Structure 1
Amino acid sequence: MTLLVALALFAAAFVAGALNAMAGGGTLVTFPALVAAGLPPIIANATSAVSQWPGYVASSLTFRRELAGARALPSMSVASLLGGLVGGGLVTVVSPRLFDALVPWLILLATAMFAFSSTLTRWMSQHAANVGRSTTALLLGQFAVSIYGGFFGGGMGIMMLALYSLFALDTLTRMNALKTWLSVLISGVAVLAFIAAGIVNWPAALVMLAGTIAGGVAGARLARRLPALWLKRVVVALGSLLTLAFFWKAYG
Structure 2
Amino acid sequence: MTLGIALALFAAAFAAGALNAVAGGGTLITFPALVAAGLPPIVANATSSVSQWPGYVASSLTFRRELVGQQTLPAMSLASLAGGLIGGWLVTVVSPRLFDVLIPWLILLATVMFAASSQLTRWLGRHAAAVQGSRAGLLAGQLLVAIYGGFFGGGMGIMMLALYSLFALDTLTRMNALKTWLSVLISGVAVLAFIVAGIVDWPAALVMLAGTISGGVAGARLARRLPALWLKRMVVALGSVLTLAFFWKVYG
The two structures have a TM-score, normalised by structure 2, of 1.00
Partner Cα separation in structure 1 for residue 238 and residue 231 of structure 2:
11
CA deviations on 1:140-168 (whole Å, 9 max, x unpaired) are: 00000000000000000000000000000
Partner of 1:78: 78
Partner of 1:225: 225
Secondary structure of the residue aligned to 1:200 is coil
CA deviations on 1:27-61 (whole Å, 9 max, x unpaired) are: 00000000000000000000000000000000000
Partner Cα separation in structure 1 for residue 73 and residue 87 of structure 2:
21
Gaps of 5+ in 1: none
1:133-172 → structure 2 map (5 Å cutoff): 133-172=133-172
Partner of 1:11: 11
Partner of 1:186: 186
Tell me the matched-pair count.
252
Secondary structure of the residue aligned to 1:170 is coil
CA deviations on 1:115-174 (whole Å, 9 max, x unpaired) are: 000000111100001113111110000000000000000000000000000000111110
Partner Cα separation in structure 2 for residue 134 and residue 120 of structure 1:
20
CA deviations on 1:170-216 (whole Å, 9 max, x unpaired) are: 11110000000000000000000000000000000000000000000
Give the alignment's Cα RMSD to 1 decimal. 0.4
Partner of 1:28: 28
Letter in 2 for 1:150: G
For the pair 1:38 / 2:42, whether they are aligned, the reply is no
1:89-238 → structure 2 map (5 Å cutoff): 89-238=89-238
Letter in 2 for 1:239: G
Q: CA deviation at 1:71?
A: 2.3
**Runs of 4+ deviating beyond 4 Å:** none
Partner Cα separation in structure 2 for residue 191 and residue 116 of structure 1:
28
Partner Cα separation in structure 2 for residue 230 and residue 5 of structure 1:
28
Partner Cα separation in structure 2 for residue 162 and residue 49 of structure 1:
22
Partner Cα separation in structure 2 for residue 233 and residue 69 of structure 1:
35
CA contact (8 A) 2:132 2:166 kept: no
Letter in 2 for 1:86: I
